[in-house]
Structure 1
Amino acid sequence: MADTIKGDLKRLNLNMLYSLDAILNSRTLTEAGQRVLLTQAAMSIALRKLRGQLHDDIVQYHAGEHRFTPLADALRPQVRQFLWEAHRLFNLSVSFDPATEERSIRIAAPEYLETMFVSKLVRSLRVIAPRVTVHLVRWAAAAPGSVFERAGADLMVVPAPLIDDRMESAYLFDDQIACIAWTDNGVVGDALSSRTYLDHPHAIVEDGDVGAYVSDRRHATLLARRRIVASAGGLSALPLLLIETDLVATTSMWLAQHFASLLPVRVLGSPFGQDDISIHAQWQKHRSGDPLIQWIIGELRRISMILPHRGKNGGSAIGINTIYGKDKR
């Protein structure tokens, strides 16, 4: 059987591999066809050919459900990596000219980094690399490294505790943890100790709470002991839960400053001190030679270096006045 498969694989062309990749990463043949701009009928023909050449069903569809074979599950990451390698081979370049080259990059990051940092990169690229398109892809805290296979990400920006050891990594800058409350919250003072932090009721973001980004055991314990009475579906709703209430929220220092500049909330001294959370860029090892990847990493570092506030380890933490060009002094 192995010899037969090996012989038949010689007849697979690149277009069939694109069809196979689409099938392996889709729930239906219609969805797979949309990925490669083929009709469902054409995808059915492609699936039939692939089944014959691989001597495997690959996937079974029944009553709206789909089930991949073990061979399909094993092929999925390898086919995706092969296609990335083929794309890199046929688009090989040893340099990158931001002013003239037309390229595309897909970046994955937690929502707060997407809001406060990657968005600044987009604005910068519109000036110095106008022909580079940036696509922000959905990020999952439970399996951050999956964005490379699942969403075709080229680069991932993550806090250190979520680094995927299988990927290449580069330090970018530091962030810190901060607390915020409604401006007229008379119950909360200007700063919170560990005891008063636990005494107050808290609001959190349901998916993307800052607790996922903390590696210090003491801080993780403190966050785990919060008395949570409200949760938001996204970051934009978090400060709204605080207004006209006695609630406290814990978030990134960047976001705390951002919220305080726009809404009636204030930044509090927190029991987390000045401990930094380092932020890193990650990419697949086989993409290390791509000049666009390296140029984007360099641009991320450049942006972080011109931001005024720095963490104790020398990495920069962003200030809202810098991002929006405001001076509130």
Structure 2
Amino acid sequence: MIENINEIDFRKADLNLLPVFSALLKERSVTRAAGRLYLGQPAVSAALMRLREMFKDELFLRTANGMEPTARALELAEQLGPALEIIHREMYGTPRFDPATAERSFRLGMPDSIEVALSPSLIERIQREAPGVRVAIRLAGHERGAKLLDNQEIDLGVSRFTDVASWHRQENLYREGYVCLFDGARLGIPSPIGLEDYLALPHLLMSFSGGFEGVVDEALARRNLRRRVLLSTTRFSALPFILKEADAIATLPASMARRCAEAFKLTLSPAPLEIETFTVSMLWHARHDRDPGHIWLREAVKSIVRVEANPSIDDTHRVQGT
């Protein structure tokens, strides 16, 4: 808030040095930064000396590959970059985003469980409202989403996130639980499945790390029970194909499981034990906070989630954990 700003502190610093810092960070060269700023090389060198004094750090070190930023410089870039972009946008205007005429690409990061649940409706929304927009979806779970944002490899993440920094913006979307998916006709087991049948069947597991344990095993351990995991895969979307051919069961996020049950004619059942739910949220970098196109994208995702991800009253009654 502006009430927390001490104007006297700003009088002690030359804020005109910040564009020099930004240019050096982008160019990694005093000569190229000078060209970018239409300044002489001596002026940029002098500005760098003053930046070092202001931040009490070398900021950029000469190497065989050019001027490499220090850890402090990278930290400043994360903190100051969004602020400089906001100032620039407010001073020089923001391009208007009209979805009907806009031609733009967005990069989304999400696990394929969410991709399966949301992307069909997202594509329908884009075709209807924004025919010039296209979307690239990258696999991004809770451990990689923030890093992909910081590396500018995605514009928006939709997942469960655990590593959130001060320069990230986050908005919760819904609580997600788990349900069981299996081929009831093949196995001769109706829904809801009982705990005895659940433990007797071999299990399929999705694990980003490629391990053989997950939240189900944690829930079972609290009751001194164990299951047998027959197969572990890094993609949720492989599981329904396997379930059509194997005598096995999988425990999946409810929103994806409902889609798979409809598409593959599989049996959906509440899990016969309590499994901890989790929050799915949107995560984006502060640099996109007021970008009109990004705002449109976030609103589109939210409106789709209200229809696709949230269970109906009947589903809430039948499905544990949602």
1:119–1:83 distance in 2 versus 1, CA, 3 Å: farther
Scaled by the length of structure 2, the TM-score of the pair is 0.63
The separation in 1 between residues aligned to 2:305 and 2:313, in whole angstroms, is 14
Partner amino acid, structure 2, of 1:19: E
* Equivalent position of 1:179 in the other structure: 180
Alignment partner of 1:123: what SS? helix
Partner amino acid, structure 2, of 1:206: S
The separation in 2 between residues aligned to 1:83 and 1:13, in whole angstroms, is 11
Pick aligned residue for 1:19 from 22, 27, 33: 27
The separation in 2 between residues aligned to 1:212 and 1:124, in whole angstroms, is 37
Q: Give runs of aligned pairs for residues 184-199 of structure 1, distance below 5 A.
A: 184-186=185-187, 188-199=189-200
The separation in 2 between residues aligned to 1:219 and 1:86, in whole angstroms, is 52
**Shift, 1:59, TM fit:** 8.5
* Equivalent position of 1:135 in the other structure: 136
The separation in 2 between residues aligned to 1:11 and 1:175, in whole angstroms, is 44
Segments of structure 1 that go 5 or more residues without pairing to the other structure are 1-5, 24-48, 316-329
2:195/2:272 contact within 8 Å kept: yes
Q: Deviations over 1:219-270 (max 9, x none)?
A: 8958x94421212242232223333432111112232233333436322332
1:56–1:93 distance in 2 versus 1, CA, 3 Å: closer
Q: Deviations over 1:256-293 (max 9, x none)?
A: 23333343632233225798654322233454333333
1:176/1:274 contact within 8 Å kept: yes
2:255/2:308 contact within 8 Å kept: no
1:233–1:88 distance in 2 versus 1, CA, 3 Å: same
* Equivalent position of 1:325 in the other structure: none
Alignment partner of 1:238: what SS? helix
Alignment partner of 1:245: what SS? coil
In terms of mean alpha carbon deviation, does 76-85 or 278-287 score higher?
A: 76-85
1:185–1:162 distance in 2 versus 1, CA, 3 Å: farther
Q: Give runs of aligned pairs for residues 44-55 of structure 1, distance below 5 A.
A: none
Q: Give runs of aligned pairs for residues 215-226 of structure 1, distance below 5 A.
A: 218=219, 225-226=226-227
Alignment partner of 2:107: what SS? strand
Alignment partner of 1:271: what SS? coil
Partner amino acid, structure 2, of 1:124: R
The separation in 2 between residues aligned to 1:264 and 1:103, in whole angstroms, is 37
Q: Give runs of aligned pairs for residues 107-122 of structure 1, distance below 5 A.
A: 107-122=108-123
1:175/1:252 contact within 8 Å kept: yes
Q: Give runs of aligned pairs for residues 165-314 of structure 1, distance below 5 A.
A: 166=166, 167-186=168-187, 188-207=189-208, 218=219, 225-263=226-264, 265-271=266-272, 277-285=278-286, 287-307=288-308, 310-311=311-312
The separation in 1 between residues aligned to 2:311 and 2:264, in whole angstroms, is 25
The separation in 1 between residues aligned to 2:59 and 2:309, in whole angstroms, is 58
Q: Percent identity, aligned pairs only?
A: 21
Give 1 or 2 for the bigger CA radius of gyration.
2
1:276/1:313 contact within 8 Å kept: no
Alignment partner of 1:302: what SS? helix
1:308–1:231 distance in 2 versus 1, CA, 3 Å: closer
Partner amino acid, structure 1, of 2:270: G
2:158/2:283 contact within 8 Å kept: yes
The separation in 2 between residues aligned to 1:169 and 1:314, in whole angstroms, is 27
1:58/1:72 contact within 8 Å kept: no
**Shift, 1:174, TM fit:** 4.5
Q: Deviations over 1:26-82 (max 9, x none)?
A: xxxxxxxxxxxxxxxxxxxxxxx9xx98867758689xxxx9854565456357647
* Equivalent position of 1:158 in the other structure: 159
Scaled by the length of structure 1, the TM-score of the pair is 0.62
The separation in 2 between residues aligned to 1:308 and 1:256, in whole angstroms, is 11
In terms of mean alpha carbon deviation, does 279-288 or 161-170 score higher?
A: 161-170
